[in-house]
């Protein structure tokens, strides 16, 4: 079963006066949605309030999101200055994001650049990857390389060049290598915890206030296949 985060079991990867970085678990939602489930942003606020004995409301800015079944690095801003600067870094693609994915069907090439046009379907909350531009589609680009071959699966390292809705999931599905557990994109069965084997592994950026280079690496979930990688 998945262990959804609470303030006592948060996996904090980095914390200072301006930002806090968390290793998101399967099932956590980053920000409140129509499910009404408690979001990770509220859990982190409670953690900060308790740790620093802060009276009243705690400021916490949501900078980016990860899909609910995905794990790994999520950065929150603790000050409005950090929030606006981090938003700029992310929107200008001045951060370097690396993901790990476990897929069925080894890709034809050991390393390649994938370029598609993604069209989002709001009704079923998916994106479809097209080789040519179609109406309302957006260019999506990533690099992948094989990092380990397992008995039934292949582990990939992925660097994103664009940040589209379900981009990695849709693009890997389009080349016939759906992510383990990802029923939405063509995998044949779900994972026991309801998650998928996609992990935001590494993030490199310049600190919004101190300007130092920050590199964050998130440990993978403690699970048989991740542990084999």
pLDDT-derived band at 35, boundaries 50, 70, 90: confident
Interatomic CA distance for residues 101 and 107, integer angstroms: 12
- Per-residue confidence (pLDDT) for residue 205, from 0 to 100: 97
List the helix and strand counts (H, then E) for the chain.
Answer: 4, 11
Indicate whether 3 belongs to any domain.
no
pTM: 0.94
Q: Find out whether 67 and 182 touch, Cβ atoms under 8 Å.
A: no
**In a 3-state reduction of DSSP, which class is residue 147?**
strand
Q: How far apart are the first and last CA of the chain?
A: 21
* Secondary structure of 29-67 as H, E, C letters: CCCCCCCCCCCHHHHHHHHHHHHCCCCCCCCCEECCCCC
pLDDT digits 0-9 by tens, 81-135? 999 999 999 999 899 999 999 999 999 999 999 999 999 999 999 999 999 999 9
Residue 2 reports pLDDT greater than 60: no
**In a 3-state reduction of DSSP, which class is residue 134?**
coil
> What CATH number did the domain enclosing 62 receive?
3.30.2350.10
How many other β-carbons are positioned within 10 Å of the β-carbon of residue 220?
A: 18
Q: Find out whether 156 and 146 touch, Cβ atoms under 8 Å.
A: yes
Instruction: Determine what percent of the chain is predicted with pLDDT higher than 90.
Output: 90
CA-to-CA separations, 123 to 120, 127, 129, in angstroms, rounded: 9, 11, 16
Indicate whether 75 belongs to any domain.
yes
Residue 66 reports pLDDT greater than 60: yes
pLDDT digits 0-9 by tens, 141-175? 999 999 999 999 999 999 999 999 999 999 999 99
- Per-residue confidence (pLDDT) for residue 34, from 0 to 100: 75
- Per-residue confidence (pLDDT) for residue 33, from 0 to 100: 76
Indicate whether 6 belongs to any domain.
no
Indicate whether 72 belongs to any domain.
yes
Indicate whether 7 belongs to any domain.
no
Return mean pLDDT, the chain: 94
Helix, strand, coil % over all residues of the chain, rounded to 5: 15, 35, 50
Indicate whether 140 belongs to any domain.
yes
Boundaries of domain holding 95: 12-228
- Please give the tally of structural domains in the chain: 1
Indicate whether 113 belongs to any domain.
yes
How many other β-carbons are positioned within 10 Å of the β-carbon of residue 196?
A: 27
Interatomic CA distance for residues 112 and 123, integer angstroms: 31
Indicate whether 5 belongs to any domain.
no
């Amino acid at each position: 079963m998945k262990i959804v985060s609470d303030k006592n079991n948060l996996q904090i990867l980095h914390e200072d006066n301006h930002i806090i970085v968390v290793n998101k678990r399967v099932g956590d939602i980053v920000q409140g949605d129509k499910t009404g489930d408690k979001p990770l942003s509220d859990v982190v606020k409670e953690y900060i309030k308790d740790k620093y004995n802060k009276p009243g409301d705690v400021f916490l800015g949501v900078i980016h999101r990860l899909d609910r079944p995905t794990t790994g690095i999520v950065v929150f801003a603790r000050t409005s200055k950090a929030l606006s600067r981090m938003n700029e870094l992310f929107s200008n693609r001045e951060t370097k994001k690396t993901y790990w994915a476990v897929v069925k069907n080894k890709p034809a090439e050991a390393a390649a650049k994938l370029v598609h046009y993604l069209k989002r379907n709001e009704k079923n909350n998916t994106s479809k990857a097209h080789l040519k531009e179609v109406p309302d589609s957006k260019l999506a680009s990533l690099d992948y390389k094989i990092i380990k071959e397992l008995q039934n699966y292949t582990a990939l390292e992925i660097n994103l060049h664009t940040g589209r809705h379900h981009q990695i999931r849709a693009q890997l599905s389009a080349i016939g290598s759906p992510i383990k557990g990802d029923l939405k994109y063509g995998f044949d069965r779900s994972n026991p915890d309801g998650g998928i084997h996609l992990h935001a592994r590494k993030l490199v950026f310049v600190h919004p206030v101190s300007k130092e280079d920050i590199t964050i690496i998130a440990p993978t979930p403690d699970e048989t296949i991740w542990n084999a990688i």
